[in-house]
Amino acid sequence: MKILIVDDSPRRYAKLLASLTPTFVDRDDIDVRVCANDARDALRDKHYDLMIIDILLPLRADEDPSERHSQDLLIEITEFGDLCKPNLIVGLTADRELGRKVEPVFKERLWTVVIYSDDNDAWTQQIAKCVEWIVDKGRRASRPSYGVDLVVLCALAEPELRAVLRLPWEWSAARPLDELLFVHDGKFSYGGKDYTVAAASCSRMGMVSSALVASRLIEKLRPRVIAMTGICAAVRGKAQLGDVLLADPSWDWQSGKRARLEDKSSFAISPHQLDVDPGIRTRFEALKGDRSKLSAIADAWQGNVPGQLKLIVGPVASGSAVLADQGLVPEIQAQHREVCGIEMEAYGVYSAAAFAEAPKPLFFSMKAACDFADSSKNNDYQSYAAYTSAKVLELFIERYMSDFKMQTT
């Protein structure tokens, strides 16, 4: 394995290096960099299994350290493609208060944070245990490969999964994936290339169910891409009935802390947003311009059509309850003023995919609006929305699946 240490006080690692070599790693496979810019140079040329980074880090070797430089480096590693992303990242700090201060940026990008101490070697033992675990994991099994190319997950069998199973993808009868979940296997060919697909639905609506089912599908089928289709509510002024919404980002709008102060109940929101891969977003944006294909999808529907079929990329909030109260929409808009849709499952799927073990799938949700989440809510356009969502997925996959297969290889 290869390790990168980024710290402007490298001498404090002497005991750690002695404990790691030669049992777990060769000394030549441990690189040490003393500033953020030197770390960037290392990460441009080499992939590391583990990176240990001091939370207080100078930008250049002759400058003062600051948590801002380590934050910027982590964001660049995890959100942009210029640097090789280490498999795991451990943060190091001697300041517990600083650790709490930077937690919002660090907690989603680090494997763990280790507290450094001059008084004892507990921190070196903790890092050594992390290295031992990585090595042992590699010995137990080789890196798994992808399985199916695409998994499609729907909240319910009717009308959402039914619309997906009407796509011309040579679907088989449902088979049990485990004691609780059944899937349909299919296959399709585009551009002279063959692809495999599986489709399933949750037993009930909501983020808990979608997260559990998505986790089982990812674990057992190892898809390159997992997509969610189906129906959602539109926010008036941001989307119209029938529009297909790519949820970017997705979050749980009910996440936060409810408290009582002076006999009044208050709620402090704490949304955690998950974005789709930029490659998904840019391709969906490109698809928006194909008016002829989108019109053909709407024209083929045997029933009432609410208007011109459009594709929208924007924030879509997830919640654990069916929303039929327009008065709650401003509360959700306060969390993201551009929110264009509200539904119940996408954040669960995004979370399952984002925190899955390698090989991680790309993930997205493209649901179509069937109501406005108010008292006029009805079922008039549910079947149409399920249909357009599935057909736009078909068009999207037909255009771009070969790109994703190359990207995730």
Q: How far is residue 122 from each of residues 6, 95, 132, 214, 391, measured CA to CA in Å?
A: 19, 15, 15, 38, 56
Q: How far is residue 90 from each of residues 51, 111, 328, measured CA to CA in Å?
A: 6, 6, 40
70 contacts 31 by C-beta, under 8 angstroms: no
**Torsion, CA 353, CA 356, CA 362, CA 367, rounded to 10:** -10
> Which secondary structure element, helix H or strand E, spans residue 16, and what is its range?
helix 14-20
The segment(s) of the chain belonging to CATH 3.40.50.2300 are 3-140
Q: Coil, strand or helix: which one is 312?
A: strand
Task: Report pLDDT for 143.
Answer: 58
The distance from CA 211 to its chain's CA centroid, rounded to whole angstroms, is 12
Task: Report pLDDT for 259.
Answer: 52
HEC profile of 193-207: EEEEEEEEECCCCCH
Domain 3-140 part of CATH 3.40.50.1000: no
The distance from CA 381 to its chain's CA centroid, rounded to whole angstroms, is 29
Q: Coil, strand or helix: which one is 216?
A: helix
Task: Report pLDDT for 324.
Answer: 47
Q: What is the pLDDT along the chain (409 residues), one digit of tens a residue?
A: 899 999 999 999 998 898 888 888 899 999 999 999 999 999 998 999 999 999 899 999 999 999 889 889 988 988 887 899 898 888 888 877 766 666 666 666 777 788 888 888 888 888 888 888 888 776 655 557 899 999 999 999 999 999 999 999 999 999 998 888 999 999 999 988 999 999 999 988 888 999 999 999 999 999 999 999 999 999 888 888 999 999 999 988 777 655 555 666 555 566 788 999 999 999 999 999 899 999 999 999 998 898 899 999 999 998 876 544 555 667 776 777 788 989 999 999 999 999 998 889 999 999 999 988 765 666 789 999 999 999 999 999 999 998 886 554 4
DSSP annotation of 328? G
In the chain, the N- to C-terminal Cα span, in Å, equals 21
The segment(s) of the chain belonging to CATH 3.40.50.1580 are 150-407
d(CA 121, CA 15): 8
d(CA 218, CA 229): 16
Interacting residues of 143 by C-beta distance below 8 A, sequence separation 6+: 358, 359
pLDDT, tens digit (0-9, with 9 covering 90-100), for 160-219: 999 999 999 999 999 998 888 999 999 999 988 999 999 999 988 888 999 999 999 999
The helix/strand count (H/E) of the chain reads as 13, 16
DSSP per residue, 99-150: HHHTHHHHTTT-SEEEE--SS-SHHHHHHHHHHHHHHHHHHH-PPPPP--SE
384 contacts 242 by C-beta, under 8 angstroms: yes
Question: So what CATH class is 150-407?
Answer: alpha beta
Closest CA to 348 of 389, 329, 372, 320: 320
Task: Report pLDDT for 322.
Answer: 56
DSSP per residue, 383-406: HHHHHHHHHHHHHHHHHHHHHHHH
Q: Buried (b) or exposed (e) across 150-161, using 16+ Cβ within 10 A?
A: bbbbbbbeebbb
Q: Coil, strand or helix: which one is 257?
A: strand
In this structure, the strands spanning 30-33 and 3-6 are parallel
314 contacts 339 by C-beta, under 8 angstroms: yes
d(CA 377, CA 324): 6
